Amino acid sequence: MIEQLIIDGERVDASDKGAFDVYDPSSGSVLARVAKATRDDVRRAVKAAHAALESKAWGGITHAERGRMLFRIAQAIRDRAEELGELESRDNGKPLRQARTDVQVAARYFEFFAGAADKIMGHTIPLGPGLLDFTVREPIGVSAQIVPWNYPIQIGSRGVAPALAAGCAVVLKPSSEAPMTALRLGEIGLACGLPPGVLNVVPGMGSEAGTALASDPDISQLTFTGSVDVGIQVAKLAADNVVPVVMELGGKSPNIVFADADLDLTVQGVATAIFQNAGQTCSAGSRLLVERGAHDALVEALSAKAKSMRIGPGVSDPDLGPIISRRQLETIEGYVQVGTREGAAVVAGGQRPKDSALGGGFYYQPTLLDRVTPDMRVAQEEIFGPVLSIITFDTIEQAADLANRSQYGLVAGIWTRDINKALALAARIKSGQIYINTYGAGGGVELPFGGYKKSGYGREKGLESLVSYTQVKNVCVRYPA
């Protein structure tokens, strides 16, 4: 059985009947076979989205009714939470409890933006007697969304929900490595009353379906999450049609730990920031900047934690699941080898697990690299795996310099009991999100998320994200004063 595309409210095969295999990274076995969208399929999806915008069924309804549809989707996701969580775990490999959390966060996106749908307002501008000036926010049009494999249902929902709340229609292109829950999201949308064409789902290869979507002349906005290199290509394609883009790209986010930090709290926060989803997170805390006086105790505690983590198939709910693919696994191995050649010391992990029961899965041990210097590749480049690079510092000025010595600026964590020191450092760090004595906030649905520098531009999550899916129209009226 082939999982079909969703275009114009229908489940359909690819126009050339093509399909591709999706693999379970826990075992390397085939999980599903999925229709592979062609350029023609993407074009048809964009046309369907345009037609939906012009229809009375979508373009002609009230903001409140859109909100009610989104509430229904949120509830339907929760009703199918166990099914979706298990599917996400098998498709992506992440531990089942993390996949279940992702499903709840996905539901929360639709719930949050359902409540915002009838509150997208303009302003009046005082010009004096005889003139009334006001603005309205209108849907920007067809939103193209290209979603990565690491958080398929969560990242898919964080873009789709605000786009629908704003009144846009969406063409969603999930990764070919983990498309399953995006397809279920499309099915849920239809079951909850979204008119045909409002949410289309076109899994396929980035080189064909992704390129076709980014370069389509009839999209009005593009949201992309992925690597810097691919993001640059996508932005260039969109720029040819003067299409605005929201880019959430890479990260090399630091956790900055001072000697006065709560050790137990810090160990848990730092470990979760790098080992969640096997480190396959753009905002992973992949650099540990630790004050010299705290180094030995912190590294010892982190090493003990890493060595105690249970590795296994995602659906067995381990502490650490597999890497998404053999190719990515080999990339991680290569970085650790480069790090040791450059002088870093492996104090935990650093290889594939020896357990024969893990079979053909793509596993890598949680890894700590100590004695890292700021210019090493493992300190500068995004590894996208469970590998933490550890660098020491002596002063707050040095900590700020090290934190900013990166092409990225997505997230930073600061760990200290001194709030004055924390806020002073936060003001100096060039990063889109900064956490103090925590890292992340349960999905952070309400918190604007995006990067400085090569971590991207534009903001997702929170009310700030609605700016990307609306455009402002100014109306000025002269009347007898």
Q: Are 261 and 417 in contact (CB under 8 A)?
A: yes
Per annotation, catalytic residue among 111, 282, 291, 382: 282
Rounded mean pLDDT, 142-158: 97
Q: Are 232 and 255 in contact (CB under 8 A)?
A: no
Q: Are 228 and 248 in contact (CB under 8 A)?
A: no
Rounded mean pLDDT, 177-202: 98
Q: How far apart are CA 202 and CA 210, in angstroms?
A: 9
3-state SS of 38-56 is: CHHHHHHHHHHHHHHHHCC
pLDDT, tens digit, for every residue of 68-111?
A: 999 999 999 999 999 999 999 999 999 999 999 999 999 999 99
pLDDT, tens digit, for every residue of 282-318?
A: 999 999 999 999 999 999 999 999 999 999 999 999 9
Calculate the dihedral angle through the C-alpha atoms of 77, 111, 172, 100, rounding to the nearest 10 degrees. -40
Whole-prediction pTM: 0.96
Q: How far apart are CA 108 and CA 97, in angstroms?
A: 17
Per annotation, catalytic residue among 248, 291, 382, 460: 248
First to last CA, the chain: 70
The pLDDT assigned to 441 comes to 67
Percent of the chain at pLDDT above 70? 99
168 in active site: no
Q: Are 364 and 352 in contact (CB under 8 A)?
A: yes
**CB-based contacts of 53, cutoff 8 Å, min separation 6:** 59, 139, 141, 142, 167, 168, 169
282 in active site: yes
442 — pLDDT class (breaks 50, 70, 90)? low
